[in-house]
Amino acid sequence: METGKTDPILVTEYSSAWPVQFGQLSDIYKNFIGEYLTGIEHVGSTAVPGLPAKPVLDIDLIVEDQRKLAQIIPILELLGYEYAGEAGIPDRHTFIAKSSKTPNINSGIHWPKHHLYCCIDGSTSLRNHLLLRDQLRKDPELATAYGKLKKRLAAHTTDIDKYVEGKTEFITDVLGKSGLNEQELQQIEHQNKKM
């Protein structure tokens, strides 16, 4: 269930469980669809050691092209995900877990909340995720500043759209210094404002 406009936005301290949980989920994706993927990446704030985050894992499955995407959609649906298309972000395809037991591998495990995306290799959406994560990982001062911003925004709004929009200037500044061009930055800014 997505955060509503009146639900508190929970930003928690970093948990060492997050990379472990990512590894467990990654193993399942490798087992079921690994032959179609060029990579699996833990992205978002839970992928940056020490960074406060909403306790939701962001996972990017990377495919070479739309043909590979078409091959994995039915497999992920069998695992209990609902395919939701690009959801307004080109080349980033969203899969929604239907329950806390998704992926369904007959184990009865309740998985952590996670956002699963399938990104086309080389796309702006994938580069955005990887560049931001990598910059935050290698610059502790930058990560600290981002963590403070996230906590401040979460404390002052229950509107997830305003929370996302409030982070946009920080994110596009980091991405601009990391190599994204003006057109790509404007695209990201536009997407974050219409979420």
Going through 6-91 in order, the beta strands assigned E by DSSP cover 39-43, 57-63, 81-83
> Omega into 74 within 30° of 0, i.e. cis?
no
Tens of pLDDT, residues 45-63: 999 999 999 999 999 999 9
139, two tokens = 């610059």
Please state, rounded to an integer, the average pLDDT across all residues of the chain: 93
Residue that is written with structure tokens 């499955």 in the block:
61
- For the segment 122-134, the average pLDDT, to the nearest whole number, is 95
Residues 6+ apart with CB under 8 A from 127: 180, 184
User: Is residue 14 a contact partner of residue 51, using CB atoms and an 8 Å limit?
Assistant: yes
- d(CA 172, CA 180) in angstroms, rounded, equals 9
Residue that is written with structure tokens 């404007």 in the block:
186
pLDDT over threshold 60, residue 75: yes
Structure confidence at residue 1 (pLDDT): 38
